[in-house]
Amino acid sequence: MQQPSRRHASLASGVGLRLPHLVEVVATRPAAAWLEIHPENFLANPHAAELLAEIARHYPISVHTVGVSIGSAGGIDRAHLARVARLIDAIDPVLVSGHLAWSTHAGEYLNDLLPLPYDKDTLALLARHVDEVQQALGRVYLVENPSSYLGFAGSTMTEVAFLSALAERTGCKLLCDVSNIYLSGHNMGFDAHAYIDGLPADAIGELHLGGFTAEDDPDEPGGTLLVDTHADRIAEPAWDLYAYALRRFGEKPTLIEWDNEIPPFATLLVEAARADTVRAQALSPEVRRAAVG
């Protein structure tokens, strides 16, 4: 299988590129290390696709799919996958990723990333679908851990065990969304550090950081639910968990995600610069010695 591309993702942090910033990025060529796009934004938008082709000549691009529903029991939408494959062939991205979730059913696209039960049958289904995606794209696919608000009583595996087995069985890599781990740990009552400890470091191909929003928990008076809105700066505890993840996994390409209430592009670059600073500190010899000691 073709490995990611002649180019390589920079270890400096990248930012998500959304439609409101396309023209600015073409016109001003800001100093972003790399950019991550959602292919679904470009498949039916020829003008945006033209701008993306221009941008891809100057920046490493990561393709983060939101409509390739590897968790759908009814199978992958092959027509959609073929459209994504054509875009990928055109821009030669450094990374290609998607979610451990499902978002289509019976030909309907649901604008949500919905959860899966973690058991043997689901693992077999997902492994078949990841194989199919990797074959169709000719690339290693990275699978991202979800943000969680509920679980299935019938699950027989932890999410970490499920992701680890999926990576081992298919050769896919994992996209570790550190913010998702923090907010899911809060919502589901698990230890975020233990979750990171359990992931296979060798399989981690990318890290995500995104802003979340605290809302009243409808099921727990006085409680809060953290919602993965991608509508804010990265929260302080997520930065702390990011430093922990770096010490566990080593240097990995990191991406700042911001999809709603999108700020000026310069604000994204400030967050990426902070990620670079946190990484330099977390991986400094002094901090590593202290962490081990």
Specify the pairing of strand 224-227 against strand 213-216: antiparallel
Nearer to Fe ion, 62 or 72 (CB): 62
Nearer to Fe ion, 80 or 208 (CB): 208
Q: Nearest approach, Cβ of 177 to Fe ion (angstroms)?
A: 4
Sign of CA dihedral 117, 121, 122, 123: positive
Total residues belonging to the chain: 293
Nearer to Fe ion, 21 or 208 (CB): 208
Site for Fe ion in 102-131 (CB under 5 A): none
Q: Nearest approach, Cβ of 191 to Fe ion (angstroms)?
A: 20
User: Which residue has its beta carbon closest to Fe ion?
Assistant: 208
Q: Nearest approach, Cβ of 17 to Fe ion (angstroms)?
A: 14
Work out the angle at residue 11's Cα, subtended by the Cα atoms of residues 265 and 274, and round it to the nearest 5 degrees.
50
Q: Nearest approach, Cβ of 228 to Fe ion (angstroms)?
A: 8
Tell me which stretch binds Fe ion (CB under 5 A): 69-77, 170-178, 239-247, 269-277.
170-178
Tell me which stretch binds Fe ion (CB under 5 A): 45-53, 124-132, 176-184, 217-225.
176-184
Sign of CA dihedral 118, 228, 18, 256: negative
Options 40, 132, 159, 177; binder of Fe ion; rule CB under 5 A: 177
Residue whose C-alpha is closest to residue 234's, from 208, 206, 216:
208
Q: Nearest approach, Cβ of 194 to Fe ion (angstroms)?
A: 20
Nearer to Fe ion, 26 or 263 (CB): 263
228 binds Fe ion (CB under 5 A): no
For Fe ion (CB under 5 A), the number of binding residues is: 2
Q: Nearest approach, Cβ of 210 to Fe ion (angstroms)?
A: 5
Site for Fe ion in 192-221 (CB under 5 A): 208
Q: Nearest approach, Cβ of 206 to Fe ion (angstroms)?
A: 9
Q: Given the rule CB under 5 A, which residues bind Fe ion?
A: 177, 208
